[in-house]
Structure 1
């Protein structure tokens, strides 16, 4: 997953306004107390950041992947 894909999923799964606010403001313990945006800026893998955000918000696997592109072949977890 590329960072561009991460932001597309943010928009599709959470909606553009709410999703962008989550990425900037939601501090996650699994990201060492950083926000998803901070983790991406620090060079964390977008796939790992995406899973951390979805896990924290209890987003079911079936609802994590937005468009058909990801539903067919979701990026694997590490």
Structure 2
């Protein structure tokens, strides 16, 4: 997964007005208590970050 696909999925899941702020504010234990943005900045693959976000948000399987 590329970063562009990650951000597109985030926008689809959370909406255009909220997805960037959520990614920069909500810490995810599975990502070492980092935000999605921090994990990406640290080099965590976007697919791994997305899967952690997907589980945290309890999104439907169709969005995985």
Q: TM-score, normalised by structure 1?
A: 0.76
Number of matched residues? 64
Higher strand share: 2
- Offset, 1:35: 0.1
- Offset, 1:31: 0.2
4+ long deviations beyond 2 Å: none
- Offset, 1:46: 0.2
Deviations 1:11-47 (A, max 9, x none): 1221112111211111000000000000000000100
Correspondences of 1:65-76 after superposition (within 5 Å)? none
> C-alpha distance in 2, partners of 1:20/1:30?
19
> C-alpha distance in 2, partners of 1:34/1:16?
22
In structure 2, list runs of 5 or more residues that go unmatched: none
The two structures, once aligned, show a CA RMSD in angstroms of 1.1
